[in-house]
Amino acid sequence: MVEFMKAGGWSMWFVLLLGLGSLVAAVLFVAKKDLGKLALVRALSLATVFSIASGLCANVATVMKFAADNPPEGVVKVVMYGLAESLAPGILGFTMLSISWLLVAVGTRRAQDRID
């Protein structure tokens, strides 16, 4: 996990914090069965998506700059390895969002049971 966080760079901390916020909000939504809590999940999820996009852009830009500064014989390997590492914010963030929205689905179902 440490290597994974290092691979994604500084943006991983934003993705992690916002993703955890989204997860906590989703757990609260399931526990309280209150549809009003859904707005917080949506807002934190959107913030997580934007942090993923920001991290991905920053990582790809860093890889391209590094590749441009290196000799041509190793540039393909550098770009391929760098792009693989650049996807770390997306892997972490989208996984956390998937779990969050799975919880939202459960919470929505529980809220519907309470209404009926």
Tens of pLDDT along 3-39?
Answer: 888 888 889 999 999 999 999 999 999 998 777 889 9
Q: What is this structure's pTM?
A: 0.85
**Structural domain harbouring 29:** 2-111
Residue 58 lies in a domain: yes
pLDDT tens-digit readout, 74-108 = 788 888 888 999 999 999 999 999 999 999 999 88
Residue 92 lies in a domain: yes
Residue 81 lies in a domain: yes
Contacts of 92 (CB under 8 A, 6+ apart): 4, 8, 12, 15, 16, 19
Residue 31 lies in a domain: yes
Residue 116 three-state SS:
coil
Phi and psi at residue 10, to the nearest 5°: -60, -30
**Torsional class of 75: left (φ above 0), alpha (ψ -120 to 50), beta (otherwise):** alpha
User: How many domains, in total, are found in the chain?
Assistant: 1
Residue 98 lies in a domain: yes
Q: Cβ(2)–Cβ(88) under 8 Å?
A: no
Residue 116 lies in a domain: no
CB atoms within 10 A of CB 92: 22
